[in-house]
Amino acid sequence: MNITPIHNEADLQRTFARLEALWAAEDGTPEADELEVLSILIEKYEDEHYPIGPSDPIEAIKFRMEQQGLTPRDLEPSRDKSRSYDGAVPAW
């Protein structure tokens, strides 16, 4: 196992290639350990170089609704009629 830090895109691509070669490694083997360490290195590099900020809650709801083929009107039956939700779910 010759593991080195990932400093740039070339290192990242090399690490991905090695990760792919190890993908079917059996648990408990040195190859599986190498796979785990490489996964951690890739995650660290990507977190530092390709950060993904928190999503906007409304955009997340809209995205999920689009995936499900729903419209804002489809949410109305699930609303608790005893509480006021005016503006809680925008009409987009």
pLDDT tens string 23-82: 999 999 999 999 999 999 999 999 999 999 888 999 999 999 999 999 888 877 665 556
pTM: 0.61
pLDDT tens string 64-80: 999 999 988 887 766 55
Task: Give the Cβ contact number of residue 70 at 10 Å.
Answer: 13
- pLDDT for residue 24: 94
CA distance 77 to 52: 34
CA distance 80 to 83: 6
